[in-house]
Amino acid sequence: MLRKAFRMSVDAGQEAEYERRHNPIWRDLEDALVRNGVRSYTIFLDPATRDLFAYAEVEDEERWQAIAATEVCRRWWRHMRDIMPANADASPVSRELREVFHLGAAEAP
């Protein structure tokens, strides 16, 4: 299992709307994530900076990258681009984070 983390941001005044659009996310988007090996996906908001920190556990890099080519993912990007910085293809502006520490669940002896 790979751990992926990346940072994005939400536009000023759009924090509540960002959260509303994610609760719940579209069922077909959730299905695409699961089909492509995403086992866990969490997004945190720092209200002081409007930075978003995303963390995902995925089966492999190739399947994770394949999500971007799905129709539902591209539709989601278009749905979100009016409330967050976006690239020309409507994907969110993001920066991958490098893992520097991980403590896994301890196994019982």
**pLDDT of 41 over the 70 cut:** yes
* pLDDT score for 105: 77
- H/E segment holding residue 80: helix 71-80
pLDDT band at 107 (very low <50, low <70, confident <90, very high): low
For residue 75, give the H/E element and its range: helix 71-80
Q: Using one digit for the tens of pLDDT, what is the confidence trace for 47-102?
A: 999 999 999 999 999 999 999 999 999 999 999 999 999 999 999 999 999 999 99
Annotated active-site positions, please? 22
The CATH architecture of the domain made up of 2-96 is 2-Layer Sandwich (3.30)
What residue segments make up the domains of the chain, in order of their start?
A: 2-96
Helix (H, G, I), strand (E, B) or coil at 55: strand
pLDDT of 26 > 80? The answer is yes
Residue with tokens 């993001």: 94
pLDDT for 65: 97
Q: Do residues 56 and 38 make contact, with C-beta atoms less than 8 angstroms apart? A: yes
Question: Given a cut of 60, is residue 108 above it in pLDDT?
Answer: no
Q: Which residues 6+ apart lie within 8 Å of 73 measured at CB? A: 29, 32, 67
Pick from 101, 109, 108, 2: which is nearest to 55 by CA?
2
Give the pTM: 0.91
- pLDDT at res. 40: 98
- DSSP symbols for 18-48: HHHHTTTPPHHHHHHHHHTTEEEEEEEEETT
